[in-house]
Every structure is written in C-alpha cells, then in structure tokens.
Amino acid sequence: MAAFPPASPLLSPLASILPEHLNLMGYVDRSEVNGPDCRAVVWVQGCCRQCSGCFNPQSWSFAPNQIISVEALVNRILREPRNQGVTFSGGEPFWQAVALAEVARQVKAQGLSVMSFSGFTWEQLQAESAPVGSQALLAQLDILVDGPYVESLAIHEATSPVSSQNQRVHVFNPALKNAINWASDQMEVHIFPDGSRLFTGYRGQVGLFD
C-alpha cells in the first residue's frame, strides 16, 4: 500500500482559504469523458504527491488560483441542465474535503451523482490520519477512483477507466454499477464563446489552448 505523502509546507496556503470556499484549478460543464453520463468536472488546486508522469502538474501548487464559494459552485453546476453529475479531480480533492462534501451534499439533493478521483487509497481515506473531512466526502460519493498514478504501471487501453494498474474503481451506489463507461484514454475538446478551447479526459488531463 502506498504511504501518505509526508507533511509539507506546501499545504500551508490551505489555511488562507475561507470556510465554505474552494481553491480551483479549473471547471467545465457537459463532460462525457470524466465519469458516467454528462457531468460537470471540478479540478481542485493543490497536490503534494507530484507523481512522475502527472498529467496536470499545474495543479500541484496550493497557492490560491480560482477561489469560489460552495454556494457559487453549486449554482454553477446546477444551472447547466445537461449535467447529470459532478466529478472532483485535481489536484487532490481530499485536501479540500470539507467544502467538497458540502458541494456534493447539495447537488445530490437535486438528483446528481457525485464521483471523485483521489491519489489516496480508500483504506488511507478511512484512517485517522486522512485529510480533515475525508469521511464526510466519502459518505457523499457514488463512485471513487483511488490510488496515485504510477507511470511504470500505466495502462494504454481504450476501455480502461483507470490510468495505471494500481488504481481501483469503487462503486458505492448500486444504481451505477453498470455505468463504468468512460475510458482514461478518451479526450474531448470544449469550445467557449470567446473562442478559447479546453481539452480534457486523457488520464484526467485538462488544459487550455488558443
């Protein structure tokens, strides 16, 4: 089993985030490659693992990036009628578990499913040493994809929902047991009204280009 990352001063900026607020790296609506069905994707800012081959190294820093309140994020997710769920990615979602648990609670009350990726394993998230709020966020999840990305165990298959062999898909909601229909090698491009474009999906990657 992978060990917890060591305590790090990299985490100190988390203390500057106001309660009921989140520090995000990115957001997109109507994704079909980051979990089952059509869903919003929330990429949080901050991860201290710095895995070799990470697809989102820009997410490592915990420095404030896009600060948003829980209320504003919930409203953003719900105002897109085609969103059938939300996926938390990053970055490491469980370093902001308290606020994400509240986001999850509110969107689930409106009938959306909630999924999260995590570099922690399910067992680590059950431990007393897990990030604050881990149990509250776990309790709201319908699906958890756990485990760090391990480059030497990378999977290059069009049908695999995980990016490396050590990762696992935990389905907590029986209604979604047959909904594991995304693949980590899929990619999609979103074109916004201002002409900017965002690509996402390839092993959890997200990026902007002109």
Pick the residue with more confidence: 206 or 44?
44
- 165-181 pLDDT tens trace: 999 999 999 999 999 98
Residue 3, pLDDT > 60, answer no
Q: In terms of residues, how long is the chain?
A: 210
Cα(177)–Cα(163) distance, integer angstroms:
19
Residue 75, pLDDT > 70, answer yes
Residue 143, pLDDT > 80, answer yes
**Domains of the chain, with CATH numbers?**
21-209 (3.20.20.70)
Pick the residue with more confidence: 120 or 184?
120
Q: The whole model's pTM is what?
A: 0.86
Q: For position 197, what pLDDT does the model report?
A: 60
Cα(207)–Cα(190) distance, integer angstroms:
10
Supply 120's token pair.
């922690």
Percent of all residues in the chain with a pLDDT value above 70, rounded to a whole number: 84
Residue 126, pLDDT > 50, answer yes
Residue 1, pLDDT > 60, answer no
Characterize 123-138 residue by residue with b for buried, 16 or more Cβ atoms within 10 angstroms of its Cβ, and e for exposed.
Answer: ebbeeeebbebbeebb
> Mean pLDDT, to the nearest integer, of 11-39?
93
Q: For position 56, what pLDDT does the model report?
A: 83
Instruction: Say how far residue 187 (Cα) sits from the centre of its chain.
Output: 16
Residue 203, pLDDT > 50, answer no
Residue 205, pLDDT > 70, answer no
